[in-house]
C-alpha cells in the first residue's frame, strides 16, 4: 500500500489498523518514505521503541523526519493538538503539505485516559477542519486493544487502512455535523470525596483543602504546587464566568489524586484548553494551564453545568 502525495487541500485523518510489528512497520515506514520522496516534512509521535524501529528501517532517509515521544507528550491527550498545530504552522508551505504519525492509544492506558484519547482523536477533525492540507496517520494495535476501541477508531477517523486496503469509515461521526460521542457524564467518585461549596470568600479554603489532601496522599512538592495552581485557576473560572460559585470535590482513586470543580456555567467551545492563549487573550488561560500542569484533565459541559476533573498520579 503506497501513500501517494496528499491529493486535496484538506486535512486527511486516517487510522492504520495493524496486528503485528511487521504490519506496523509496513504501514508507517512506507508512509514516511513517501513523504520524504515528496519533500513533505513528517512528525512521528510514537513510543521511543517504535520510533527506533521506524528509524532503523529508513536507512538514513530522515532529513525531513522529526520524532516525538508520544507517551511523554501525550500523557495528557489534551496536549497533543497544540503540538500538531505548531508543527503544521512551522513546516507547511504552499504546494508542499506535511504529514504526521500519531499513536496516542496503547493497551496500558487507564479507562479515563482512553476516553480522553478517543475524544482527542475526534476533536482533531474539528481542530483542523479549516486547515491547509496535511495528512495524519494514527496506528491502532488490533492484537492488543479491545474490539470496542477499534470500533471507536472508525467513529473518530473518516478513513481507515486495514490489511493493505484503504476505505472510508461508514460509522465516522463528523464533529461539524454530528454530536460529541464522548460528552457523557463522568463516572462517580470511587470513594466518598471531601466536598466544599465555594464563593470568592472560600477560595483560600479551596487551596487549603487541595494542599492538605495532596500532602496527605504523598504527592511531591512540585506536583503538589502544580495541582494547587491548576485547581485555583479552574475555581477562579467558576467565580468569574459561572455565577460566582462552585463546588470542589477531592478524592483518591487507585494511585491518583483527583480534584473536581463543578459550577452552573456553560462552555461553548469543545476545544477549550487545547489552544495556547495569546498574550492579549483573556479567556482560556485557566483550562490551558490545567492541561499543562495535570496528568489528565476531563472537561464536560452538561445541561446542569460544567465539570472539570483533574488527575495527578501519585506514583
Q: Which of 80, 78, 82, 7 is nearest to 40 (CA)?
A: 7
* pLDDT exceeds cutoff 80 at 188: yes
Map out the domains of the chain as residue ranges. 11-168, 194-313
pTM strictly above 0.75: yes
Cβ contacts of 282 within 8 Å, gap of 6 or more:
none
Mean pLDDT of 129-153: 95
Q: Which fold has domain 194-313?
A: Heat Shock Protein 90 (3.30.565)
CA 24/CA 21 separation, integer angstroms: 5
Residue matched to cell numbers 470511587? 190
pLDDT, residue 95, reads 66
pLDDT, residue 282, reads 63
Q: What is the pLDDT of residues 27-70, one digit of tens each?
A: 999 999 999 998 899 999 999 999 999 999 998 777 779 999 99
* pLDDT exceeds cutoff 80 at 97: yes
CATH superfamily of the domain spanning 11-168 = P-loop containing nucleotide triphosphate hydrolases (3.40.50.300)
- What is the separation of C-alpha 123 from the centre of its chain, rounded to a whole number of angstroms? 9
pLDDT, residue 2, reads 52
User: The dihedral of CA 255, 261, 266, 269: what is its sign?
Assistant: negative
Complete edge-to-edge strand list for the sheet that includes strand 42-46: 65-69, 42-46, 98-102, 134-141, 11-18, 159-162, 165-168
Amino acid at each position: 500500500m503506497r501513500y501517494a502525495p496528499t491529493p486535496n487541500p484538506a486535512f486527511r485523518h486516517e487510522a492504520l489498523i495493524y496486528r503485528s510489528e511487521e504490519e506496523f512497520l509496513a504501514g508507517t515506514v512506507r508512509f514516511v518514505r513517501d513523504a520524504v520522496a515528496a519533500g513533505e516534512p513528517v512528525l512521528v509521535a510514537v513510543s521511543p521503541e517504535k520510533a527506533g524501529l521506524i528509524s532503523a528501517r529508513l536507512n538514513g532517509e530522515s532529513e525531513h523526519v522529526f520524532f516525538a515521544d508520544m507517551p511523554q507528550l501525550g500523557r495528557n491527550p489534551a496536549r497533543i493538538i497544540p503540538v500538531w498545530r505548531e508543527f503544521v504552522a512551522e513546516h507547511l508551505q504552499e504546494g508542499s503539505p506535511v504529514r504526521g504519525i500519531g499513536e496516542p492509544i496503547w493497551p496500558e492506558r487507564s479507562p479515563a485516559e482512553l476516553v480522553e484519547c478517543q475524544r482527542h482523536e475526534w476533536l482533531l477533525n474539528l481542530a483542523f477542519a479549516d486547515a491547509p492540507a496535511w495528512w495524519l496517520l494514527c496506528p491502532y494495535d488490533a492484537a492488543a486493544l479491545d474490539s470496542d476501541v477499534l470500533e471507536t477508531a472508525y467513529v473518530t477517523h473518516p478513513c481507515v487502512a486495514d490489511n493493505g486496503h484503504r476505505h472510508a469509515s461508514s460509522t465516522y461521526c463528523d464533529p461539524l455535523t454530528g454530536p460529541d460521542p464522548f460528552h457523557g457524564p463522568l463516572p462517580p467518585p470511587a470513594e466518598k470525596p471531601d466536598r466544599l461549596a465555594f464563593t470568592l470568600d472560600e477560595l483560600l479554603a479551596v487551596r487549603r483543602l487541595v494542599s492538605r489532601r495532596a500532602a496527605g496522599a504523598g504527592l511531591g512538592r512540585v506536583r503538589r504546587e502544580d495541582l494547587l495552581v491548576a485547581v485555583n485557576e479552574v475555581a477562579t473560572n467558576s467565580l468569574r464566568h459561572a455565577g460566582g460559585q462552585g463546588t470542589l470535590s477531592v478524592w483518591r482513586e487507585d494511585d491518583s489524586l483527583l480534584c473536581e470543580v463543578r459550577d452552573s456555567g456553560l462552555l461553548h467551545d469543545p476545544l477549550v484548553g487545547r489552544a495556547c492563549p495569546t498574550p492579549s487573550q483573556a479567556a482560556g488561560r485557566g483550562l490551558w494551564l490545567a492541561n499543562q500542569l495535570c496528568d489528565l484533565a476531563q472537561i464536560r459541559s452538561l445541561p446542569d453545568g460544567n465539570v472539570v476533573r483533574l488527575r495527578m498520579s501519585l506514583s
